[in-house]
Amino acid sequence: MASSCVSYEGCNFFRQRLVLSTLSGKPVKIRKIRSKDDNPGLRDFEASFIRLMDKITNGTRIEINETGTTLYFQPGLLYGGPVEHDCNLQRSIGYYLEALLALAPFMKNPLKAVLRGVTNDQKDPSVDTLKATAIPLMKRFGIDGEGLELKVLRRGMPPGGGGEVVFSCPVRRFIKPVQLTDPGKVKRIRGMAFSVRVSPQIANRIVDSARSILNQFIPDIYIYTDHMKGANSGKSPGFGLSLIAETTNGTFLSAEMASNPPGQGTPILPEELGKNCAKLLLEEIYRGGCVDSINQSLALLYMTLGQQDVSKVLLGPLSPYTIEFLRHLRSFFQTMFKIETQKPEEDGKGGEKVLMTCVGVGYTNLSKTLK
């Protein structure tokens, strides 16, 4: 009676597959996970992710073979409620949080997740960035209210970690369709420069250097400095910057950078980091769109899961992650997006944009209890 299984090879886009499988109820089978690698099978962070999925669901069946190269995942129903999870330190909390963002509105009980681990690293979107970009995006889709919150209690840098984040999200039965076609113009830039277990002066140095670049465009810039002390500062030293550009139409574009973990690579100067991060933000603004590059897939997911209406969203160029996500959406929900490229008519408006249009599948939250 169970739906037909979807099968994949390789460990890439691991989260997408499990998330979509959980939402669509289709079991998924992933074979040949690092089968040619010296160290074959699932890594610890992936195992930790599977454990998190198990925590937020009820009735999930997971089968992993002995070498860990094959995974069979039969999803259960999303349960939610209070969840505590110690994330693996190989990846930051952002890795886990991205999946939770996608799943949280469809739980039985409002999710209140406490995640511990690395809050900022170089691989994944940091907690600050997700807080500043993904949360307002969710509000656009009607997932709002008191409950929607992402709080950073402690900061933790790799390799030691020790950060703590609380994410809570209300549940919804339906997702609203959206029409986000006009990104507007950047009206202000905000940011967060943080430093833990290093001199608090570093944050100021980052701010100054970042401002020096951004001031060419807009005067309304404010970058908060966040120096956490004592228990709140995690276990490893580090610093970083996350920049958010807000537009007149409520679009948030982000860029971020973090210092190298101690003992890995050459240490980076705070000034350099600030400048590079500012340039990354400019790059992001160049790409443009109504959703920034890290949240593209989230926006597309909510569009797909919306009611059976037309949703439109203007994106910057599609990231590889998003492209793969689109393919996955097709195989799990049979939705295809109408993809139209738009060349900006004038010169000073950044690069090519992509207009994504789709009809929602009319997804309803099957977990929510009817009272």
Partner 1 sequence: MEEKEHRKHQKKQSGPKADRKKKRKAPGAGEEEDGRRRNPKAFGVQSAVRMARTFHRAQDLQTKKHHAPQVDRSALEPPPVVIVVVGPPRVGKTTLIQCLIRNFTRQKLSDICGPVTIVSGKKRRLTFIECGNDINSMIDLAKVADLVLMLIDASFGFEMETFEFLNICQVHGFPRIMGVLTHLDFFKNNKQLRKTKKILKHRFWTEVYQGAKLFYLSGMVHSEYQKQEIRNLGRFISVMKFRPLVWQTAHPYVLADRMEDLTDPETLRINPMCDRKVCLYGYLRGTYLKNRSQVHIPGVGDFSLSDVSFLSDPCPLPDSLKKRALNERERLLYAPLSGVGGVVYDKDAVYIDLGGSHADREQEEARPTAELVQSLIGAQATIDVKMAASKVSLFTGSEPLRQGELQEEEGADEGPKEERVWDPETRRERRRAIFTEEEEGSEGEEGSEEESEEEEEDSEGEGEAGEESESEEEEGELEKQPALKRLRVEGGSEAVKEGGGIEVPAFADSEDELEKSEGEVEESEVEGESSEEEEEEEDSEGGGRKAMDSGNCSEEESEGSEVDSPLLEELGSKVKHPKHKEKALEEEEEEEPCFETAGELRWKEGLAQKASEAFLRQQRSTPNLRKLVYGTVAEESEEEESGGGELGGLFHVSRPESEKRRRADGLDCSHYTPDATRDWDQQEVLDSIRDCFVTGKWEDDKDATRLLQEDEELYGDFEDLETGELHQGDSGKQEDQAEEDESGEGEDEDGGKVKGNAEGEKQQRLDKKRRLKERFNTEYDEGDATFFDDLKGEMQRQAELNRAEFSAVDDETRVQYEGFRPGMYLRLEIQSLPCEFITNFDPNYPVILGGLGASEGNVGYLQMRLKKHRWHQRILKTRDPLILSLGWRRFQTLPLYHIEDHNGRNRLLKYTPQHMHCGATLWGPITPQGTGFLAVQSVSGTKAGFRIAATGVVLDLDKSVTVVKKLKLIGYPYKIYKNTAFIKDMFNSVLEVAKFEGAALRTVSGVRGQIKKALRAPPGAYRATFEDRLLMSDIVFLRSWFPVSVPQLYNPVTSLLLPLGEKESWTGMRTVGQLKHDLGVKVKPNKDSLYKPVVRKKRHFNPLHIPKELQRALPFKNKPKNAEKKGKVPRDLQRPAVIKEPHEKKIAALLAALGTVHNHKRKSAQARQREQHKDFLRQRQKQEMDKMKRQKEARKKMFRMIGQREKKQQKSSLKGAAQHD
- The nearest distance, CB 205 to partner 1, in angstroms, is 20
Q: What is the rounded CA–CA span in Å between residue 202 and residue 278?
A: 16
Q: What is the rounded CA–CA span in Å between residue 125 and residue 254?
A: 10
Select 198 or 310, whichever has its Cβ closest to partner 1: 310
Select 169 or 189, whichever has its Cβ closest to partner 1: 189
Select 201 or 341, whichever has its Cβ closest to partner 1: 341
Q: What is the rounded CA–CA span in Å between residue 105 and residue 94?
A: 18
b/e 304-321 (16+ beta carbons within 10 angstroms → b): bbbeeeebbbbbbbbeeb
Select 8 or 228, whichever has its Cβ closest to partner 1: 8
Select 130 or 196, whichever has its Cβ closest to partner 1: 130
Q: What is the rounded CA–CA span in Å between residue 113 and residue 107?
A: 12
Q: What is the rounded CA–CA span in Å between residue 56 and residue 327?
A: 25
Q: What is the rounded CA–CA span in Å between residue 79 and residue 169?
A: 13
Work out whether the CA dihedral 332, 333, 334, 335 comes out positive or negative: negative
- The nearest distance, CB 364 to partner 1, in angstroms, is 5
Select 270 or 289, whichever has its Cβ closest to partner 1: 289
Q: What's the token pair of residue 183? A: 């990104």
Strands 80-86 and 179-180: what pairing? unpaired
DSSP state of 14: H
- The nearest distance, CB 331 to partner 1, in angstroms, is 9
Q: Which helix (H) or strand (E) holds 25?
A: none
- The nearest distance, CB 230 to partner 1, in angstroms, is 31
